[in-house]
Structure 1
């Protein structure tokens, strides 16, 4: 087999910054940052959204406090009576 053909596979600490939760998953991601957890040092990768915080997986629905596009269009271009 060829040397250095496969990437370095190791346990990486992924940090979901939205909900401040850590996931320790095997990955080949390259990162220079490290974090210490339970006496072990892991490569660290910050992420914005994970399955624990994504609205599709959590069942949460976001509310939009503005009016809809159709109502906004009608309000702008309706004839004054």
Structure 2
């Protein structure tokens, strides 16, 4: 790697606001807020709206979308397609 062109990577604590979960990870992001971690060290704190702790894909709480109603609405608006006779 070329020296002097890459941002500094450091340990940062990410706090998920939705799930109230915290993660310690390496990042180039910086913050003026600080938090004391479980190991006794102080790290920059970055708050995020969503992470793997609260995202529906990772938690398994995905919502079911009513696709049948959408198909019926489409057919009423535009009629059945030519491939409907298959």
Query: 2-side partners of 1:56 and 1:47: how far apart?
Result: 17
Q: 1:52 maps to which residue? A: 53
Q: Which protein has the bigger strand share? A: 1
Query: 1-side partners of 2:55 and 2:8: how far apart?
Result: 29
**Count of aligned pairs:** 69
Alignment deviations for residues 40-75 of structure 1 (CA, whole Å, 9 cap, x no partner): 0001100010011101111103479xxx789xxxxx
1:21 lines up with 2:30 in the alignment: no
SS at match of 2:13: strand
Give TM-score, length-normalised by structure 1: 0.68
Query: 2-side partners of 1:25 and 1:3: how far apart?
Result: 23
Unmatched runs of 5 consecutive residues or more in structure 1: 71-81
Q: 1:32 maps to which residue? A: 32
Query: 2-side partners of 1:8 and 1:25: how far apart?
Result: 14
Q: Which protein has the bigger helix share? A: 2
